[in-house]
Chains A and B, each alone.
Chain A
Amino acid sequence: MATRKTTNGAPRGASSGATGSARTTGVRDAVIVGGNRIPFSRAGKRYADASNSEMFTAALEGLVARFGLQGERLGEVVGGAVLKHSRDFNMIRESVLGSSLSPQTPAFDLQQACATGLEATINVANKIRLGQIDSGVAGGTDTISDAPIAVSDPLRRALLAAQHAKTLQGRLKALAQVRPGDLKPLTPATDEPRTGLSMGEHQAITTARWGISREAQDELALASHQNLTAAWDSGFFDDLVTPFRGLTRDDNVRADTSLEKLASLKPVFGKSLATSAEVPAVPTMTAGNSTPLTDGASTVLLASTDWAQAHDLPVLARFVDAETAAVDFVHGHEGLLMAPVHAVPRLLARNGLTLADFDFVEIHEAFASTVLTTLAAWEDADYCKNELGLPGPFGSVDRARINVNGSSLAAGHPFAATGGRIVATAAKLVAQRAAETGKPARALVSVCAAGGLGATAIIESV
């Protein structure tokens, strides 16, 4: 991994902006051709009766239409959903069969919580880079509106026992074990199984520990809405989004929100912290600076340069490299959503880059404070030394480079679909910037996930 070559074989300076290259020998480039998603919709609204596979198929069909892939046998389609029915065991493959792609296109499901979409992209990119496939689609879909609901364990055991019983009496005897309380359905929980705390409560602790202010969070949320609105208005998403079920724009974005409106919202997370002995703090996290539950699906088309060229397809960017990380949040040592903070320094070190080398930084806004704690941690000398093993502060990110076209606070966050949204957005951003300036442009992508997970990636213009 030590050998580095530039894309064109010509050495480039490594002093400022997007310069240098991180291509390793022995592998070829994986490029991002484009993306397509459906507009994201707040849970229970427009997509209330749309299933995960319907949404993914719609996103995939839009991608096929945009790039004329009808009947094409792609190398692989990879994606997943965080909240998934057991009947959807082969969801992505079923979506492929329901699409206009060749039925000979292989597919598989994967899941890494909120990092699913990015992890799918990493998988497809790696297969392309190794020459195992020439083209592939990565993506994800999630619905809260149509989430699977399970029955309680006692009821489930009784039903299974009744099914296995050979006689009517046996079946009745099994079912007689059911108590009224067992009939209560189990709705899917996003709480951490090991701590019982919701993601918001976890983040509230992290927020308090880093002393992130309510104002800073609201400002970030406002910027997200303003940036996403501006991106929509400028037509940025005209070739990244295809309407679904009559919805033509993300319906969570609020063009008319303001700091006053955001400031008027009551905190929803961290309310118990006021009396906490460990990290006493005034609660700061509201519905305005936290992502809402959202339905949606996204896809990204990746390929080898040759395949894209042979199919007369555009190339937005290279998918350069990726790094995942996990943290020990269970014992309270590290914040639940802090894994990307650990992943990025390792990723950048491997590629000989610093934070200053990025024109765009896409940090998934699980909460406004997730972005802010990430930035604060990288600027903290002690933390960087003790937790990240760095000689000093990792560095600062110019705020004007962060989530320039909005992120999850405004768009919403259908868990597995967020990675595809960010990758396609980042790829188009670097392509546009490179076209404007005539110089290479580079984006850093960071997505935190449940379970103390995080996935990060580098995307670079071609």
Chain B
Amino acid sequence: MTDSYTRLVNAGLGKTLSKRLGLPRPAVLRRYRPGDPLTVGPVLVLSDAASKPEADAVAQALLRWEVDVRREPTDDARWGAVVLVLTEAARPTDVSDAVLAVGSVLRRVAPNGRVVTVSRALTDDDPPELAATRGGVEGFLRSLAKELRAGATGNGIVLTDGAAADSTSALATLRFFLSARSAFVDGQLLPVGPADAGADESGTATDRPLAGKVAVVTGAARGIGVDIAKTLARDGATVVCVDVPAAGEGLTRTANAVGGTALQLDVTADDAGTRILEHARSRHGGVDIVVHNAGILRDKLLANMKPQQWDAVIAVNLASQLRINAQLLEAGVEGLRIVSLASIAGIAGNRGQTNYGFSKAGVIGHTRATAPLVARLGGTANAVAPGFIETEMTRTIPTVTRELGRRASSLQQGGLPVDVAEAIVFLVSPAAAGVNGEVLRVCGQSWLGR
């Protein structure tokens, strides 16, 4: 549920008062429902002069999705989204006209609208002017995202390794950023490479891109894990729900809600990966997706930290992921799509969370290292770093700290568990094969960290 302050300032007297007083007015975010239109209005595709062919290709793809695509920044529209293609810009001056054109329509971007940039990643061989241009896009996008209002978000696709703007994974990422699935993803630039030849675009535009896939979710008994399982199932996956035996009551509810199976298993067991694989193979014919969501908190200032508090967090949040991944790779599971739950605490750090911070930064570290190992077997490994998410856990945070956590972001609110789930479901979708070794923040452009 949206928090009560957000509800207050979006209706009736609260709306009038908060406007008059200039209080923060977080928007009610639009979230994905199967069958809803991709965007809330027409999509304007702009580009610098040199990138026009790439922009044309992107516009063609949008037309295939039956989106109302425009190429001119006219005054008569309430824009659902603006896509700015800057892939071929070579000098800083090249982008002026295009970014100012975006500025000219910004006031007419609809609530919950989108701005998405498409640019190329810096490489070691870039001449200074090209590097400046490509690097500049990042600062532009992050700043622009902070100017957007009413639930609108700004995100960027950063093409790597010569990937085309209309390549399978670039389009899948564009679709994710344009859609309501990315409601709480804001101010992020996601590197996207060329997908392998085997990457499948066919599911991109359907409501069930994961049909026929078998997904394992750890920590599925409660919290974000429940929404991850439900969202995977909604998109067609068969879900194996894993949690410790003591959490079996919640696990049963999750499994029965998603029509999956419950596997009561402690992920820190030596043979957890093998047992997960055995269950998935014997009961569902294999495993395609693993979401490492199980995690615990044992907050203590380092000066007061007891060994078991440090060790338990590392064992559950980090070591279990490494062991399970190793066992699945050892078994030669092909095309495996792994997503690990990191946290902005692993990026920015949190007082009293040295153990948690280590574990979550460790997740980011091993994700980069796991990616090439999984890629050899046609898979990917990515991480999702949630910011402030409205869960049972964050409800126990003291009020002032909680309010700070919520408001200290561009979207001025906490995200919902489903927002994290949507990002995961995107990363494990067949068409996102070109996204590998990355960390996608789901934080409403939190002020914390990068």
Contact = CB atoms under 8 A, between A and B. Distances in A.
A238 B245 contact: yes
Interface string B219-249: 0000000000000000000000100011111
B283 A61 contact: no
B434 to A, nearest CB: 33
Contacts of B249: 58, 242-246
A20 interface: no
A65 B251 contact: yes
Given A70-B255, A241-B245, 4 more contacts: A62-B248, A242-B249, A242-B252, A243-B247
A448 B248 CA distance: 31
A238 B261 CA distance: 14
B282 A238 contact: no
A248 B245 CA distance: 8
A68 B282 contact: no
A13 interface: no
A211 B284 CA distance: 55
Given A68-B260, A238-B264, A61 B252 contact: yes
Contacts of B252: 61-62, 64-65, 242
B261 A235 contact: no
A312 interface: yes
A133 B262 CA distance: 25
B285 interface: yes
Contact of B256 (A61, A235, A244): A61
28 contacts: A61-B252, A62-B248, A64-B256, A65-B251, A65-B252, A65-B255, A66-B255, A66-B262, A68-B259, A70-B255, A70-B259, A100-B256, A237-B245, A238-B245, A238-B264, A239-B264, A241-B245, A242-B248, A242-B251, A242-B252, A242-B262, A242-B264, A243-B248, A245-B249, A246-B249, A248-B245, A312-B284, A313-B283
A235 B244 CA distance: 11
Nearest to B252: A65
A108 interface: no
A71 B262 contact: no
A44 B285 CA distance: 45
A383 interface: no
B148 interface: no
Interface residues of A, number: 25
A67 interface: yes
Interface in A224-242: 235, 237-239, 241-242
A61 B241 CA distance: 14
B165 interface: no
Nearest to B259: A70
A314 interface: yes
Interface of A: 58, 61-62, 64-68, 70-71, 100, 235, 237-239, 241-246, 248, 312-314
Contacts of A241: 245, 248
Contacts of B287: none
A66 B282 CA distance: 13
B265 interface: yes
B337 to A, nearest CB: 21
A61 B245 CA distance: 15
Contacts of B285: 312
A284 to B, nearest CB: 37
A244 B249 CA distance: 6
Contacts, number: 61
A279 to B, nearest CB: 46
Nearest to A101: B256
A57 B246 CA distance: 19
Nearest to B240: A68
Contacts of B260: 68
Contacts of B251: 65, 242
A70 B283 contact: no
Contact of A65 (B246, B256, B282): B256
A66 B261 CA distance: 5
Kindly name the residue among B251, B252, B260, B283 whose own CB sees the greatest number of chain A CB atoms within 10 A.
B252
A295 B247 CA distance: 20
B283 A238 contact: no
Interface in B288-342: none
Contacts of B282: 312, 314
- Cβ-closest 3 pairs across A and B: A65-B255, A65-B262, A65-B252
A393 B241 CA distance: 52
Q: Which of B245, B247, B253, B285 has its CB near the most chain A CB atoms (within 10 A)? A: B245
A65 B260 CA distance: 7
A312 B284 CA distance: 7
Given A100-B256, A312-B284, A314-B282, A65 B261 contact: yes
Interface in B267-290: 282-285
B320 to A, nearest CB: 16
B265 A62 contact: no
Contacts of B255: 65-66, 68, 70
A57 to B, nearest CB: 11
A312 B246 CA distance: 26
B264 A312 contact: no
A70 B256 contact: yes
Nearest to B260: A68
A457 to B, nearest CB: 27
Nearest to B284: A312
A243 B245 contact: yes
Nearest to B265: A238
A100 B256 CA distance: 6
Nearest to A313: B283
A39 B344 CA distance: 39
Contacts of A67: 261
A249 to B, nearest CB: 9
B217 to A, nearest CB: 13
A14 to B, nearest CB: 32
A46 to B, nearest CB: 12
A248 B244 CA distance: 11
B264 A68 contact: no
A248 B250 CA distance: 12
Contacts of A235: 245
A237 B244 CA distance: 12
